[in-house]
Every structure is written in structure tokens, then in C-alpha cells.
Amino acid sequence: MNCYFKKYTLLFRKPGGTSRGVLLSKDTYFIICEEDGKKAYGECNLFTGLSYDDREGYEEKLKEVCKRLPVEKEKVLSELHEWPSIRFGVEMVLKDLENGCRQIIYPQVINKHGFAIPINGLIWMGEKQEMMAQIASKLEAGYQSIKLKIGAIDFETELELIRFIRTQFNADSVEIRLDANGAFEFSEAIEKLKRFSDFDISYLEQPIKAGQWHQMAALIEKSPVRIALDEELIGVTNSEQRHALIHTISPPLLILKPALIGGFASTVEWKQLIEEKGGSWIITSALESNIGLNAIAQYTALGWSSFAQGLGTGQLYTNNFPSPYTVDAQGLHYHTERSWDFSLLS
């Protein structure tokens, strides 16, 4: 077996606005293992400025991993806790190899009709009218769960956008989710949460920056809106730290991004921890290509959550890989009659 990696730059169809800035492109890496004339693919989704392993030596680590993988598969995987995005890719490529190099990662979830997962519609940050147009488009398409990225424009304008949805649809018809990406100061967060609560918000992700465990716990205790942890989980790489975080903050909801938290084994651990506390979870992609999204979707289809998932990002790029997936207001759909095209990686 021969293993190597390739860097690939994904290009956004439209600029993606968040409170951390505007995204025009996104680099990712693929581990490719060739065996008996077949290729298996694993995506190491490095998210610049956000991934715990966004640091010196990343490509050198990938070279080491690819050199050792043919002989030391499970041993390599067990040593990658400090390299979560690489661990995600290695888990993926090993499962692809195990299942015949067909990008079938969890075969038990694929029946003759494929599968489907309910998802939310994502609204990127931008000028007011641009965001309003995105919202109107999603509502017209029939999305029943809308997620708005907030925190980078005027707060009153954000309230207007939310009010625009609620004047047409109540909470029983359309769920509203908010993602602040840590944009609020602790001193202002509770007042903003109170104002959001007028609009039957389902939850708000990461109101303040990660690492402020006691402040986050205080917000969760006082907030009239359910708070979800997202960036808070990044870099929490061992079981002891994870138990401490859940015990200290007592969150009602976790946003789980396998590429950022160390792959599927880590995701399983976080799910168990939050469920033991009576909370829940949502699986969300982190701007992977369709290769990474496919693995996350199949993993998500293994379990059950009462929430729509955050897996609608496959159509963001002009140079994504043709895949068996389609997306609409009813969800992310895997079609068994559709095939993959990896020619862009040749």
C-alpha cells in the first residue's frame, strides 16, 4: 500500500461572512492510500485560525503519518490526539480502505434508497439586504430551520432580520438558530440574550470566546435562550479535560464538528458526556469538501438527535467533488445511483 497527501484549495461560490472575517477560499488536505489499484481518501480538514493543530509542522506530520500508515494503521491513529484534523482524516481513510475504497465509511446506514438527514439552512454574514435575501430564499425553499451567523454587524440590524422571520413564521413552523462565534463580551451577553429571547430562539452558539468556563457557566445559568458550545470544545483533547468542561459549564447542547474535535471517536465521547448530563448534540460540518462531508453524514446517520443537523455546506464551493449527495429543504440526501468523481485530485 502506498500513502501520500495532497493539499487542495476549495473556492467559495460567494464570500462567506462570519464574525471572524470573510472567507473566499479554504485549504484542506487529503490522505490518499492506494492498494490493489484502488484509492481510499481521507480529508484532514485544517481550518486556519481555528483548528487546534493549525501550527508549525503540519505537513511534516502528514508526511510521517503517510509513511507509517501502511504498516502501523491503528498505532498511528492512537497517537494523533494532539492533531485532531489529521486524526479525522486517518479515521476516514482507514474506514474507506476497510470498506473497499468506495467512500462508504459506515455501510450499515446506506440502504438501497441511500439515506437522508434533516439539516438547517445557513445564513452567512453580510450587509443587511444581502442577509435578508438569503433568509427569504431559504424560507421560500421551505427550510424549517434557519441558522444565522451573528456578531459582526449592528445588533439592532440583526434583531430586524430575526423579526423578519418571526413576522411570517412562528417557532412551531420555523426554528431560528444563532451562531455568535464568540463575538460578545461577557458584560453585554446576558442583555443580548434577553432581547433575542423575544423571538423564540432555539439556541445560540458560543456567545463569548472560548476558554472562559466560569463566565460561560454563569451565562448558561441566567440565559433565557439555550446556549450551545462550539469553539469551546476545540483543543480539549483528553477525557479528563472533557469531563472537567462538562462538569464546570453544564451546557445543555454541544455542537460537534469531528474535524475540529478529533474525529469520530472523540465525537462519541462528547456525545456520551452530554447525554449523561441530560443534554443533546448536533453534528455540524466545518467547511469540508464533499469527501469529509460524506464521512460526517454517514457517521451522523448512525445516531439519533431531535435536532436538524448542520450539514448543508456541500454546495458552497465551485470546485467541490461530484458526489452522491444533493441538498434541499428536506435535508442532505445520499443517492445510491450517483457516483463520485475524484479527477480533480489526480
Give the type of residue at 308: A
The answer to whether 329 and 144 are in contact (CB under 8 A) is yes
User: For residue 37, what are the CA distances in angstroms to 34, 124, 222, 240, 340?
Assistant: 6, 42, 58, 43, 17
Output the tens digit of pLDDT for each of the chain's 346 residues: 999 999 999 999 988 776 667 889 999 999 999 999 999 999 999 999 999 999 999 999 999 999 999 999 999 999 999 999 999 999 999 999 999 999 999 999 999 999 999 999 999 888 899 999 999 999 999 999 999 999 878 999 999 999 999 999 999 999 999 999 999 999 999 999 999 999 999 999 999 999 999 999 999 999 999 999 999 999 999 999 999 999 999 999 999 999 999 999 999 999 999 999 999 999 999 999 999 999 999 999 998 888 999 998 878 999 999 999 999 999 999 999 999 999 999 8
Give the type of residue at 108: Q
Q: Note the pLDDT of residue 23.
A: 86
- Residue 6's Cβ-side half-sphere holds a number of Cα atoms within 13 Å equal to 12
Cα 184 from Cα 151, distance rounded (Å)? 7
Which residues make Cβ contacts (< 8 Å) with residue 327, sequence separation at least 6? 119, 312, 314, 315, 333
Q: Note the pLDDT of residue 106.
A: 97
Cα 319 from Cα 5, distance rounded (Å)? 18
Cα 253 from Cα 232, distance rounded (Å)? 12
Report helix angle 84-98 to 58-68, nearest 10.
Answer: 30
* CATH of region 2-107, choose from 2.50.20.10, 1.20.58.340, 3.30.870.10, 3.30.390.10: 3.30.390.10
How many residues in total does the chain contain?
Answer: 346
Structural domain boundaries of the chain?
A: 2-107, 111-345
Model pTM?
A: 0.96
Locate the DSSP E strands across the chain.
2-18, 21-35, 38-44, 115-117, 121-123, 145-149, 175-179, 201-205, 227-229, 253-256, 280-283, 325-328, 331-334
111-345 CATH: 3.20.20.120
Three-state DSSP at 8 gives: strand
- Cell 434557519 locates to 146
The answer to whether 83 and 95 are in contact (CB under 8 A) is no
Which residues share a beta bridge with 215? none
Cα 300 from Cα 149, distance rounded (Å)? 23
Q: Note the pLDDT of residue 19.
A: 62
Q: Note the pLDDT of residue 304.
A: 83
Q: Within the chain, what is the greatest distance between any pair of CA atoms?
A: 61
Locate the DSSP E strands across 166-230.
175-179, 201-205, 227-229
- Catalytic (active-site) positions: 149, 257
Three-state DSSP at 211 gives: coil
Q: What are phi and psi of 32, to 5 degrees?
A: -120, 125
